[in-house]
Amino acid sequence: MPKNITKISLRTILPVTLFILLLAVLALSLYLINRPPEILRLDPSTALPGERIKIYGKNFGDEKEGSEIIIAGIKPTNSNYISWSDDTIVLEVPDDVKSGRLFVKTGKGKSNGPLFINKEYVPVVIEGPAKPGEPYIRNVSPPKGSVGQEVTIEGLNFGLSQGEGKVFFSFYSGGSEKDDTGENNFIECSSLDFDYKSWSSQQIIIFVPDGATSGALKVKTDRGESNSVYFEVVNPYGTKLYGQKRGYQIQYSVSISDIVQEGDTGQVTVWIPGVYKNQAQRSIEAVFDPNPMWENYKGLMMYQIKNIEPWIVYKFTHTYWFERYTVETDINSQRVNRSYNTERKLYTYYTDENIFTPVKDKTISDVAYSVTKREKNPYLKAEKIYNYLIKRLEYDQNSDTLSPLEAIAKRKGDAYDYAILFTSLTRSAKVPARTVAGYLVYGNKQTRKHWWSEFYIDGVGWIPVDAALGDGMNITGLKLPENPVKYYFGNVDNQRIIFSKGLIDIEPINPDGKIVRKNRSYSMQTVYEEYSNSIKSYKSLWSDIQVVDWW
């Protein structure tokens, strides 16, 4: 009897099992067949019209048939296609194409869009000997590299020390917005990112800055501007592009009044943040009333009140005009470099703690370990931490009395808590990260303080993350993308204004004086106000920003 049951069971189970396996194989086959195309790299990513480029990837299809390439908004003619296979396409660059994103489009969908640069639009390389005293570049080694790679510039007349010297790389946003202004065609190596390693009269060592694209590299000093040398920026892991533009005119002010002092030697110092200049915020113009004593010291304007009259209201007003762009990344996470140059200052600084970022706290280290565990890929570490915060916390705009550590315990927090916790946990997991502070702009020109984060990947640069908006932070009048959870890991909108990235560490003007700090403010600086011991009291009013106009 048991043998018969066994035979019957096997006869029944075996066909069912085979049927399930066949369904699984069929489902897998359909999945693989219907996968959209994916571009892995362009070789080269810069070329002249008429030259050939190879597009490497997968799921292109064995034949072109109804598929096509779109390059900087242009569709090549059939004569431009040299060959087409499932993993490689050879294309002759069309005559009328400019610089822009390149896509492969098939019946299964549209690929990611790496950046293609037309060499005709690369700034003209000036050759020849330098004029007396002016900087001159003789050689750049290596001649190409990715963001974060160390580069040595050799030449003459760079100066014994950096001083006011700067190194510039070409910049192209990759978005649909055309920008022909000379200022926006270049980006400077960043002192905030510690891009400058060493500087001497005949040699400069730098790291390729975040946002750099292929084109001219040049050096500027107080003696003039060097010749330009072509440097090719490669993007081994994906792209970061700056897209939709939005213009703003904003105004904000700080008022100091009712100053009470002993004697007549009192002094009040005010540090006011300016609109942060980077690739996402460009074409910045400003008017200050009155003019600051120090302009743009670490992104701050410094004002001093002396010869104090107690009945006067001292008001400092900033008016800005600028353009704000979306930031969108397209990263192949599996190909990301799993190691960092741990001796680089960017790595050591942005994995350490500071007064806002509790990296060494046991709660932070325990959570970071439990979330990332044995994960070695820094991109996936950051993604795991992002998903943990969205699952762990519930957005509560009234939780600003909590500390970020209390937010974990109480499972709720505001945008500040989300941002600080992401930065702290990511740093604890040995991935460089920093908190970004500023404002959201929404509705009928409404504003509110807001915080988000960035983490750094060699070969890509800083990748934006907004965990609060990703978790459905609901604000009436604020437009959110269709899938906030997916969008706000790696992308940010243009409905925000940056005032600081990371900590702005200010040494007090008067070490014997007293300082004022502000928590949860729109700039993460160590000092907002200073006053001498002879100042007994005063009132200060920091206004929220007002959007005067937008376009």
E strand or H helix at 487, and its extent? helix 484-487
Q: For the segment 366-382, what is each residue's pLDDT rounded down to a tens digit?
A: 999 999 999 999 999 99
Between the two ends of the chain, the Cα-to-Cα distance in Å is 84
The answer to whether residue 365 scores a pLDDT higher than 60 is yes
CB atoms under 10 Å from CB of 238, counted, come to 23
What per-residue confidence (pLDDT) applies to 401? 78
The answer to whether residue 174 scores a pLDDT higher than 70 is no
Residue 346, amino acid: L
Which of left, alpha, beta for 455 (phi over 0: left; psi -120 to 50: alpha)?
beta
The answer to whether residue 314 scores a pLDDT higher than 90 is yes
Return the closest-CA partner of residue 498 out of 462, 530, 527, 473. 462
Q: Return d(Cα 97, Cα 46) in angstroms, integer.
A: 12
Domains and CATH numbers, the chain: 38-120 (2.60.40.10), 123-234 (2.60.40.10), 242-325+503-550 (no CATH), 338-501 (3.10.620.30)
Q: For the segment 58-84, what is each residue's pLDDT rounded down to a tens digit?
A: 999 999 988 999 998 899 999 999 999
Tokens of 69: 């390439």
Q: What is the 3-state secondary structure (H, E, C) of 385-406?
A: HHHHHHHHCEECCCCCCCCHHH
- pTM for the whole thing? 0.83
The answer to whether residue 179 scores a pLDDT higher than 50 is no
Contact of 506 with 298, CB cutoff 8 Å: yes
What per-residue confidence (pLDDT) applies to 6? 47
User: For residue 473, which phi and psi values (nearest 5 degrees)?
Assistant: -50, 110
The answer to whether residue 527 scores a pLDDT higher than 50 is yes
E strand or H helix at 409, and its extent? helix 404-410
- The 8 Å CB, 24+ separation contacts for 57-60 are 57/87, 57/88, 57/89, 57/104, 57/111, 58/86, 58/87, 59/35, 59/86, 59/106, 59/108, 60/84, 60/85, 60/86, 60/87, 60/88, 60/89, 60/104, 60/106
The answer to whether residue 3 scores a pLDDT higher than 60 is no
Q: Return d(Cα 366, Cα 428) in angstroms, integer.
A: 9
Q: For the segment 4-26, what is each residue's pLDDT rounded down to a tens digit?
A: 444 555 566 667 677 777 776 66
Mean pLDDT over 271-293 rounds to 96
Q: Return d(Cα 486, Cα 329) in angstroms, integer.
A: 12
Q: Return d(Cα 498, Cα 509) in angstroms, integer.
A: 26
Residue 303, amino acid: Y
The answer to whether residue 520 scores a pLDDT higher than 90 is yes
**460-471: burial string, b at 16+ Cβ within 10 Å, e else:** bbbbbbbbbbbb
Q: Return d(Cα 190, Cα 93) in angstroms, integer.
A: 34
The answer to whether residue 259 scores a pLDDT higher than 90 is yes
Return the closest-CA partner of residue 64 out of 100, 34, 89, 31. 89
